[in-house]
Structure 1
Amino acid sequence: MDLATKRLRKEYTALKKNPVDNIEAVPLESNILEWHYVIRGVGLYEGGFYHGKLVFPRQYPMKPPSVYMITPSGRFETNVRLCLSMSDFHPETWNPLWSVGSILIGLCSFMNENTPTTGSIETSDQEKQALAKTSLAFNCQPNQIVFRKCFPHLVELHADLLKQAAAIAETSQEAVDDDKLIHNE
């Protein structure tokens, strides 16, 4: 077993034992070098579920991963390598002691800044908030196969939220119908 595989398995075990607040990360079952994460948004991104991936080189931890954001956030382009100090854009600043958890904490921090970089975009606060509200629905679309496989509990959460919204809408419609009956008599 190579060093990257050993290290990433160890990190996965550590993340399961001590999860990072507002972050979930799992490797693909078929490829330990590709991890998928979900960041639960804070601040302007409150209520959002932001899916992305980390692609590790065979030389990890001596070389850094590529970092991607898949869910539209208003901060980063989707499916584009992001230029971060802890990504493969800057191997000269990489520290082999950094882990999946520390990389994702750094990404969360950077997400809440406005510093421009390769892969970042500028949008209004309102657009970021609107994208946060639709992020889980985006991730749970049938074509988002990897998200659905890696995070089935979030797909279930989305289905539950849809059922709750439908029940509220039905109750509201019944109240409107009852009001019409009362006023028409």
Structure 2
Amino acid sequence: MATKAAVHRLTQDYKKLIREPVPYITALPLNSNILEWHYVVTGPEDTPYEGGFYHGKLIFPKEYPFRPPRIIMTTPNGRFQTDTRLCLSISDYHPDTWNPAWSVSTILTGLLSFMVETAPTLGSIETSTAQKRMYAIQSWSFNLNDALFVKLFPEIVKKIQDKMEEKKRQEEEQKRQRNSDVDLSAEAYTAHELQHGIATGLWSNLMLILGVFAFAYTVKALLQNLA
């Protein structure tokens, strides 16, 4: 059970987070347990995480703010292991570096900063940029299949659904364009073959006519010689 000091501090942290939102971060505590917070990191532009939504949680000790929280990420992301305590200077792995003046906003800002870096730590993994981009797209369906995520973050759910619809429209448009290109290529090929056929036919007729004239000339010349 949280101490009064922890409840008071976390309540103040929540009010601050609403008043001064952290870019690319959404977070809130469970109604049933103020010590358990859930967050969503929206992948920043110009990073391999762009377009992704990464769900995780902060588990605060009852002694907060005098002890740091446990930090866990749930959505596969290519940067951190999932459902594993992350070893960060702002997490419970390093109580010796913890500063009680730090707030939830500070913790989440630090998490985002570390996510877009490449420095290894306990709980981090190495993946290619292409893999991270793949995880970003896959995060949509992963999160929509998480009942708690859907319940806690309805606005983000709407954003994901909109992105999925837009991606579907783009894929359909690309498919139509490919089919159109194939049809045009077929038409161009047919026209080329037709032109080639006409040209071949004309050339064949011309050669036949020339052949007839040549034969007639030869016959005429032969008759003259005989005369």
Question: TM-score under structure 2 normalisation?
Answer: 0.73
- C-alpha distance in 2, partners of 1:172/1:46? 22
Cα separation, partners in 2 of 1:92 and 1:174, compared to 1, 3 Å: closer
Q: Does 1:72 align with 2:71?
A: no
Q: Does 1:90 align with 2:124?
A: no
Q: Does 1:140 align with 2:144?
A: yes
User: Which of 20, 26, 29 pairs up with 2:28?
Assistant: 26
**Of Structure 1 and Structure 2, which has the larger fraction of its residues in helix?**
2
Cα separation, partners in 2 of 1:122 and 1:165, compared to 1, 3 Å: closer
Runs of 5+ unmatched residues, structure 2: 188-227
Matched residue count: 182
Runs of 5+ unmatched residues, structure 1: none
Decide which structure has the larger Cα Rg and report it: 2
Aligned to 2:63: 59
Q: Does 1:46 align with 2:50?
A: yes
Residue 39 of structure 1 aligns to a residue whose secondary structure is strand
Cα separation, partners in 2 of 1:23 and 1:98, compared to 1, 3 Å: same
Residue 39 of structure 2 aligns to a residue whose secondary structure is strand
Q: Does 1:108 align with 2:112?
A: yes
Question: TM-score under structure 1 normalisation?
Answer: 0.88
Higher RCO (CA < 8 A, seq sep 6+): 1
RMSD over aligned CA atoms reads: 2.3
Letter in 2 for 1:64: P
Paired-residue identity, %: 49
Say which is worse superposed, 43-52 or 82-91, in terms of deviation: 43-52
Cα separation, partners in 2 of 1:44 and 1:152, compared to 1, 3 Å: same
Say which is worse superposed, 146-155 or 63-72, in terms of deviation: 146-155
Letter in 1 for 2:52: G
Aligned to 1:81: 85
Aligned to 1:10: 12
Cα separation, partners in 2 of 1:172 and 1:54, compared to 1, 3 Å: same
- C-alpha distance in 2, partners of 1:87/1:2? 22
User: Which of 131, 149, 152 pairs up with 2:151?
Assistant: 149
Cα separation, partners in 2 of 1:31 and 1:122, compared to 1, 3 Å: same
